[in-house]
């Protein structure tokens, strides 16, 4: 099936397909999602099989309103919940206790459910029209880079899928995931809603909700090691030298421009500067596209700067630490 430009007709058609138990791809402000209605177990099974996703990795459920969240989840820590829900619609996912009625495959058998209200206008109108919560992981094959435009989705799934085209995603990386299950909120996956923003919203220091140990992550199966990776081996620039890898057959991604780059650039087959001024939002917006483009060039390796762990940099570093896992 083709990539279809979003319009009121195509959104209605996509809503109809979803209500009939089909799986479709749609844009969100973070990355494209591979959606299926949560009341249809064969649609959920199809999502797992299309992606090649292990059945122990639960899905994020997308809704259009707080009312829909109350249909599928309990609300613990009500004060924190309301403070964080101020980020909706937007790139934030909350993990909450699931109502028993939610079919187990969506939540990979866990007693919890991840929910978010996306802000992309196409996603919101689709969710309003279908009016059933839609489970949607990122629309990529398992462990690969998330898609930030419609053609990325087609690269992974070809013509098997109805793909609603809503342009390039604003954020370019996946939503921030926060668990409200334990005694205190916990960031399971950093994102564009930064730890600094969450700290301000909750009036608590970052150290209180940052994950301190691997065991705190054990309930978020999708946060396993290798993930978000191009096929070409990816290295941080501070961990390889020209003796170890052949720069002339490699690509180099710079997060920002600078004087030292000019000398180094010529050693590489291909280079890309993501943001001259090192603007983190621009880097996030273009990171996966740059990695996909370099991945298509049959390079020996790709070398990238290590992001600084502040603001959106925490999310960039998180994704790149997984993508550089060998
Ligand atoms: O931005 C996004 O979140 C995108 C768009 C499409 O909304 N979706 C996305 O989904 O990134 P996915 O499936 O690629 O990532 C879901 C993440 C995984 O790390 C998964 O383990 C975690 O959310 N997750 C889902 N349900 C969970 C639960 N019940 N408890 C803990 N973690 C959960
Ligand atoms: Mg994903």
Range 163-180 average pLDDT: 98
Across 233-251, average pLDDT: 94
pLDDT in tens, 126-158: 999 999 999 999 999 998 999 999 999 999 998
Q: How far is the CA of 309 from the centre of ligand 1 (A)?
A: 21
Is the distance from CB of 220 to CB of 59 less than 8 angstroms? no
Q: Report the pLDDT value the prediction gives residue 77, as an integer from 0 to 100.
A: 96
Which pLDDT value is given to residue 219?
54
Q: Please report how the helices 195-202 and 78-85 are oriented relative to each other, as an axis angle in degrees rounded to 10.
A: 130
Give me ligand 1 centre to Cα 268, in Å.
36
Question: pLDDT-derived band of residue 303, with 50, 70 and 90 as boundaries?
Answer: very high
The tens digit of pLDDT for each residue in 185-194 reads 999 999 999 9
Q: What is the pLDDT of residues 3-57, one digit of tens each?
A: 999 999 999 999 999 999 999 999 999 999 999 999 999 999 999 999 999 999 9
Supply the pLDDT for residue 308: 95
Ligand 1 closest atom vs CA 113: 29
Question: Considering every ligand atom, which ligand is closest to the CA of 143?
Answer: 2
Q: 147-151, 172-176, 222-226, 275-279: which range is least confident on average?
A: 222-226
The string of pLDDT tens digits covering residues 188-218 is: 999 999 999 999 999 999 998 887 766 666 5
pLDDT higher than 70, residue 111: yes
Q: What is the pLDDT of residue 297?
A: 97
Integer angstrom CA distances of residue 272 from 238, 253, 294, 299: 17, 5, 9, 14
Q: What is the pLDDT of residue 220?
A: 58
Which residues surround ligand 1 with Cβ inside 6 Å?
28, 30-31, 33, 57-60, 93, 95, 107, 110, 112-114, 136-138, 174-175, 177, 188-189, 219-223
Residue nearest to atom 19 of ligand 1 (CA): 222
The rounded distance, in Å, linking the Cα atoms of 37 and 135 is 6
Q: Strand 3-5 and strand 162-165: pairing?
A: parallel
| Alpha helices (runs of H) in the chain, residue ranges in sequence order | 8-19, 41-51, 66-72, 78-85, 121-130, 150-157, 195-202, 206-209, 259-265, 280-295, 313-323
Q: Which residue puts its alpha carbon closest to atom 30 of ligand 1? A: 220
């Amino acid at each position: 099936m083709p990539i279809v430009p979003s319009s009121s007709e195509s959104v209605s058609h996509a809503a109809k397909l979803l209500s009939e138990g089909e799986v479709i791809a749609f844009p969100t402000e973070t990355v494209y999602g591979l959606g299926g209605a949560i009341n249809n177990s064969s649609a959920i099974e199809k999502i797992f099989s299309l992606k090649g996703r292990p059945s122990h990795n639960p899905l994020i459920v997308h809704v259009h309103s707080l009312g829909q969240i109350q249909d599928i989840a309990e609300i613990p820590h009500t004060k924190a919940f309301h403070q964080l829900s101020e980020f909706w619609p937007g790139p934030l996912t909350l993990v909450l206790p699931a109502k028993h009625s939610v079919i187990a495959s969506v939540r990979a058998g866990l007693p919890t459910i991840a929910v978010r209200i996306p802000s992309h206008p196409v996603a919101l109108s689709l969710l309003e029209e279908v009016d059933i919560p839609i489970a949607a992981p990122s629309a990529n094959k398992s462990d690969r880079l998330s898609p930030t435009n419609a053609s990325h989705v087609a690269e992974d799934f070809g013509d098997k899928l109805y793909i609603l085209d809503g342009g390039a995603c604003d954020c370019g990386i996946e939503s921030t995931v926060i668990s409200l299950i334990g005694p205190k909120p916990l960031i399971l996956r950093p994102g564009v809603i930064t730890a600094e923003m969450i700290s301000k919203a909750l009036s608590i220091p970052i150290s209180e909700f940052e994950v301190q140990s691997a065991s705190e992550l054990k309930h978020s199966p999708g946060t396993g090691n290798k993930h978000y990776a191009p096929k070409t081996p990816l290295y941080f620039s501070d961990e390889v030298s020209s003796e170890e890898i052949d720069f002339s057959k490699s690509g180099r991604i710079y997060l920002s421009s600078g004087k030292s780059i000019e000398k180094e650039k010529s050693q590489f087959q291909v280079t890309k500067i993501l943001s001259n001024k090192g603007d983190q939002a621009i880097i996030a917006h273009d990171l996966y596209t740059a990695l996909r483009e370099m991945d298509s060039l049959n390079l020996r390796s790709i070398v990238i700067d290590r992001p600084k762990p502040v603001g959106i940099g925490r999310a960039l570093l998180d994704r790149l630490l997984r993508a550089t896992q060998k």
